[in-house]
Amino acid sequence: MTQYMFSVIHGDLDYTEDEFAQIVKDVDAFNTKYADITVFAGGLEAPQNATMVDGTGGTPVVTDGPFAETKEHLGGFWVLEIADLDAALKLAAEASKACALPLEVRPFQAEPPA
Amino acid sequence: MTDFDRTIEAIYREEFGRVVASLVRRFGDIDIAEDAASEALVVALERWPVDGIPPNPGGWLTTTAGNRAIDKIRREKVRHSKHEAADMIRDDSPHEPIGMVEDDQLRLIFTCCHPALAPEARVALTLRLLGGLTVSEIANAFLVQETTMAQRITRAKGKIKAAHIPFRIPDASDVTDRLGTVLAVIYLIFNEGYLTSSGEPIRADLTDEAIRLGRIVRQLLPHEPEVTGLLALMLLTDARREARVADGELVILTEQDRSRWDRALLAEGNALVREALAPGVPGPYVLLAAINALHTAAADPRDTPWERIASMYDHLHAISPTPIVALNRAVAIAEVDGPQVALAQVDELPLTGYHAWHATRADFMRRLGRSDDARIEYDAAIAATDNDAERRYLARRRAQLG
């Protein structure tokens, strides 16, 4: 089993209330259906609510985020336990449909051998 | 290199895909499979001149490569004591009977052509692992630096491993058009050979390899009409290879010496077209093959059934509405409704800079007596192609303008 991260890629979103309610419903349904393989899932607050912390120097430097101003940003993600990429792509297609946004599918690194 | 070495290399090339595919199934690792297959060649070059060529060279190579792989894994196991390495050694499966080996090849083709890999990497991996071409041969075929091609292949193999792209024949529930991706890779290899972008008129090594891969896939999936259609298309195209270039100049279909067409390939292609058309609504490869069958059926180019060809292109355009299909359809329409109508259709296509678009427009303009316009288009077509045979043909046509 491999852990895959499905990153939800947001642009500027403009939903009607009904559309948004439908998305929430569909994402909930997906989460319930795949609860047993879900490691973590969640949506992120908007990038303007991010804070940068740089602790690499002497005193940690805290600045208003985000790390990079981009047109598209990470809106949320799932981490799921899946057998292989084909199975992951199948689930990703379902998840993308549910949240009405494209996803990036990326495997986590295997644990280094002890 | 001796003739005997060359014989061994030819056998090796022929068997390479089968050997690698079987090792990939057994060891679940492309690098291990590839390295072991290369080592088996070294052993064959040493032993076969002394012992003679074994009765089942593919089986011999697979067994030898398998043993080499196990030795290597044992050595690595001592170094890293990897769990997977231990698992691999426990699998002592013998050289499989033929059906199994074919499944292995199909699995590997689907992996090499996986949509999660970059398109150019799919082509390279397929030629490397199934075709047994060396990295330098593939780099030459696609006019890139050997180091670039090596990186491309290494990166793709890295992704297969890291993202866990499975070695599996996809099932019907797969979300993407996996078979279509495989066929696209094979057709791309064929076209790079037939319509080469390098100086040479035709790269037979690539067209032959594409046909060989097409035959393998057809053997494995005999009831997929598009698989049959693609093989038919390649055979009907390849049958005209000898007539397509004369004195270093490209000869267009209607001007070819039809006695130089390969009758055996045409017959095989035609039989496949009939078979592929039978099941019902034809897909794009079946339609392209059927169009080629119509072109090649006429003993005299004047008997070409242009109306039927134009109608086939209509069907093709309905399922695959690309500008290239529209361009080819216009060539048939020029014969049915005249170059004026065809030119109007072609003018709208977003194909500026594509050599065939300029060449087709030049031809229509020539037929309409618009010599000055045609000359400009011939120049654009000549500038847009690197194929010497095609440039000579276009230059002659340009010189003939009134």
Query: Of the residues B238, B268, B301, which one is the last residue of a structural domain?
Result: B301
In this complex, the residue of A90, A107, A113 whose CB is nearest that of residue B163 is A107
Cβ of residue A28 closer than 8 Å to a chain B Cβ: no
**Domain segments of chain A as ranges:** 2-46+62-107
Among A86, A105, A107, the residue with its CB nearest the CB of B174 is A86
Residue with tokens 């279509």: B180
User: Do B345 and B392 belong together in one domain?
Assistant: yes
pLDDT at position B175 over 90: no
Each residue of B310-366: pLDDT tens digit? Answer: 999 999 999 999 999 999 999 999 999 999 999 999 999 999 989 999 999 999 999
Kindly state whether residues B59 and B201 are assigned to the same domain.
Answer: no
Does residue B235 share a domain with residue B103? Answer: yes
Is there a single domain that holds both residue B120 and residue B259? yes
Residue of B nearest to A91 (CA): B175
B267 lies in the same domain as B348: no
Question: Which residues are registered as beta bridge partners of A8?
Answer: A76, A103
Q: Please report, to the nearest 10 degrees, the dihedral formed by the alpha carbons of residues B389, B393, B396, B402 taken in order.
A: -160
- State the best of A85, A105, A106 to mutate against chain B, taking most chain B CBs within 10 Å: A85
Position B3 scores a pLDDT of 84
- At CB < 8 A and 24+ separation, what contacts does B390-395 make? B390/B201, B390/B250, B390/B355, B390/B359, B392/B248, B392/B249, B392/B250, B393/B249, B393/B250, B393/B251, B393/B252, B394/B359, B394/B362
Does residue A28 surpass a pLDDT of 70?
A: yes
Q: Rounded to 5 degrees, what are φ and ψ at A66?
A: -80, 175
Please choose, from the candidates B314, B312, B356, B306, the residue with its C-alpha nearest in 3D space to the C-alpha of residue B332: B306
Cβ of B164 and A89 within 8 Å?
no
B242 by Cβ neighbours in 10 Å (0-12 / 13-18 / 19+) ranks as: middle
Percent of chain B's residues with pLDDT above 70: 93
Residues 69-98 of A with CB under 8 A from B: 83-86, 88-90, 93
DSSP B297-324: H-SSGGG--HHHHHHHHHHHHHHS--HH
Establish if B181 touches chain A: CB-CB under 8 angstroms.
no
Residue A46 corresponds to which tokens in the numbers above?
A: 């908007």
- Written as six digits, the tokens of B363 are 């031809």
Among the partner residues B80, B114, B165, nearest to A113 by beta-carbon distance:
B80
B42 touches A: beta carbon within 8 Å: no
Asked if A97 and A24 touch (Cβ cutoff 8 Å), the reply is no
Structural domain that includes position B118? 97-301
Q: Is residue B115 within 8 Å of residue B176, measured between CB atoms? A: yes
Question: Which pLDDT belongs to residue B317?
Answer: 96
SS3 of B53-119: the string is CCCCHHHHHHHHHHHHHHHHHHHHHHHHCCHHHHHHHHCCCCCCCHHHHHHHHHHHHHHHCCCCCCH
Residues of chain B with pLDDT > 90: what percent? 65
Whether B163 sits inside 8 A of A85 (CB atoms) is: yes
Tokens matching residue B173: 């529930």
Question: In terms of domains, do B115 and B250 share one?
Answer: yes
Q: How far is B136 from chain A (nearest CA, A)?
A: 30
Residue of chain A minimizing CA distance to B169: A86
Which B residues in the span 61-120 are in contact with A, Cβ-Cβ below 8 Å?
Answer: 80-83, 114, 116
Q: Which residues contact B64 (CB under 8 A, 6 or more apart)?
A: B39, B40, B43, B44
Q: Tell me: do B16 and B56 sit in the same domain.
A: yes
> Of A84, A90, A109, which is closest to B175 when you measure between CB atoms?
A90
Indicate whether B221 and B365 sit together in one domain. no
d(Cα B375, Cα B356) in Å, to the nearest integer? 15
Task: State which H helix or E strand residue A64 sits in.
Answer: strand A61-64
Q: With cut-offs at 50, 70 and 90, classify the pLDDT of residue B65.
A: very high
Instruction: List CB contacts (< 8 A) between A111 and chain B.
Output: none
Residue B97 scores a pLDDT above 60:
no
Helices B178-194 and B98-112, axial angle in degrees (round to 10): 80
CB–CB contact B168 A93 (8 Å):
no
Per the structure, the count of domains in chain B is 3
Q: Are B291 and B233 in contact (CB under 8 A)?
A: no
Task: Assign 3-class secondary structure to B124-154.
Answer: HHHHHHHCCCCHHHHHHHCCCCHHHHHHHHH
Question: What is the band of B177 on the pLDDT scale with cuts at 50, 70, 90?
Answer: confident
B249 with B315, same domain? no
The last residue of one of the domains, among B93, B110, B127, is B93
Maximum C-alpha span of chain B? 79
Strands A51-54 and A61-64: antiparallel
Query: B67 and B129 in one domain?
Result: no
The whole-number average pLDDT for the span B269-286 is: 92
Q: Residue B135 pLDDT more than 60?
A: yes
Q: Helices (DSSP H) in B239-281: which residue ranges?
A: 241-244, 263-277
Q: How far apart are CA B164 and CA A30, in angstroms?
A: 23
Rounded Cα–Cα distance for residues B289 and B236 (Å): 7
In a shared domain, residues B310 and B277: no
Last residue of a domain, one of B301, B321, B336: B301
In this model, does residue A70 exceed pLDDT 90?
Answer: no
Q: Report the pLDDT value the prediction gives residue B378, as an integer from 0 to 100.
A: 96
On whether the CB atoms of residues B18 and B65 are closer than 8 A, the answer is: no
Structure tokens given for B315 = 């069907």
Which residues of chain B are within 8 Å of residue A113 when distances are taken between CB atoms? 80-83
Predicted confidence band of residue B195 (pLDDT cuts 50, 70, 90): confident
For B197-241, the pLDDT digits (tens) are 666 778 888 899 899 999 989 988 899 999 999 999 999 999 999
| CB nearest to A85's CB, from B81, B83, B116 | B116
Q: Tell me whether A2 touches chain B (CB under 8 Å).
A: yes
**Within this chain, do residues B218 and B80 fall inside the same structural domain, yes or no?**
no
Q: How far is CA B324 from CA B122, B180, B194, in A?
A: 23, 18, 17
Q: Which residues of B touch A105 (CB under 8 A)?
A: 163
Q: What CA–CA distance (Å, rounded) separates B163 from A110?
A: 10
A85 to B82: CB separation less than 8 angstroms, yes or no = no
Asked if the Cβ–Cβ distance from B170 to A86 is below 8 Å, we say: yes
- Does the pLDDT value for residue B91 go beyond 60? no
Residue B133 has pLDDT above 90, yes or no: no
Task: Answer whether CATH 3.30.1330.60 is correct for domain A2-46+62-107.
Answer: no
Of A5, A16, A24, A2, residue with least CA distance to A99: A24
